[in-house]
């Protein structure tokens, strides 16, 4: 049985900075920077997003799933330019009708990636999901969740003593 309710919570913090510079002869530059941070309990209750599951760690405590949203993009920069071709304004007749008002434009956008959680993989045939919540074995946790910090990931070849 699947039950969908509007019980999740979310919050979004953002800062936006925009710059516009207009030069003579039809040359314009635009730039914007956005910092955003989205936090929620469940990003995708219906399981539509890629790399996200609507499953809860503890259905009795939805707040235990609180963290970065699946669609959280922290940094975004957009740069654009526009150049109105000035010499076509002096054309008359058919050439003036056809060529007047043309411009060259371009948009460049850069953004940080979506958050991802990498698991260390199954251990002794047991999946990471089944290992969550187990007591920590000597020397570390039963599963490694790096949550965007690659320094916490220590890969080991399958079958080596470090992978056991």
**What's residue 91's pLDDT?**
82
**What's residue 80's pLDDT?**
97
**What's residue 158's pLDDT?**
59
**What's residue 6's pLDDT?**
74
pLDDT at 134 over 50: no
For residue 56, CA distances in Å to 8, 9, 66, 106 come to 11, 14, 10, 44
**What's residue 106's pLDDT?**
96
User: What is d(CA 81, CA 73) in angstroms, rounded to the nearest whole number?
Assistant: 24
User: What is d(CA 90, CA 86) in angstroms, rounded to the nearest whole number?
Assistant: 8
pLDDT at 109 over 80: yes
- When pLDDT is averaged across residues 98-110 and rounded to a whole number, the result is 89
**What's residue 136's pLDDT?**
45
């Amino acid at each position: 049985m699947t039950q969908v309710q509007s019980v999740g919570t979310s919050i979004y913090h953002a800062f936006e900075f925009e710059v516009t510079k207009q030069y003579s002869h039809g040359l314009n530059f635009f730039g914007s920077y956005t910092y955003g941070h989205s936090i929620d309990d469940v990003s995708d209750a219906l399981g539509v997003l890629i790399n996200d599951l609507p499953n809860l760690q503890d259905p009795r405590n939805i707040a235990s799933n609180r963290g970065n949203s699946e669609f959280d993009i922290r940094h975004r920069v957009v740069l654009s330019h526009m150049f109105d071709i000035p010499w076509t304004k002096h054309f008359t007749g058919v050439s003036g009708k056809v060529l007047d008002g043309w411009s060259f434009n371009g948009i460049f956008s850069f953004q940080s990636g979506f958050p991802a959680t990498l698991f260390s993989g199954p251990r002794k045939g047991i999946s990471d999901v089944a290992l969550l919540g187990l007591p920590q074995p000597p020397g570390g946790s039963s599963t490694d969740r790096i949550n965007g910090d690659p320094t916490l990931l220590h890969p080991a070849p399958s079958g080596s003593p470090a992978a056991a």
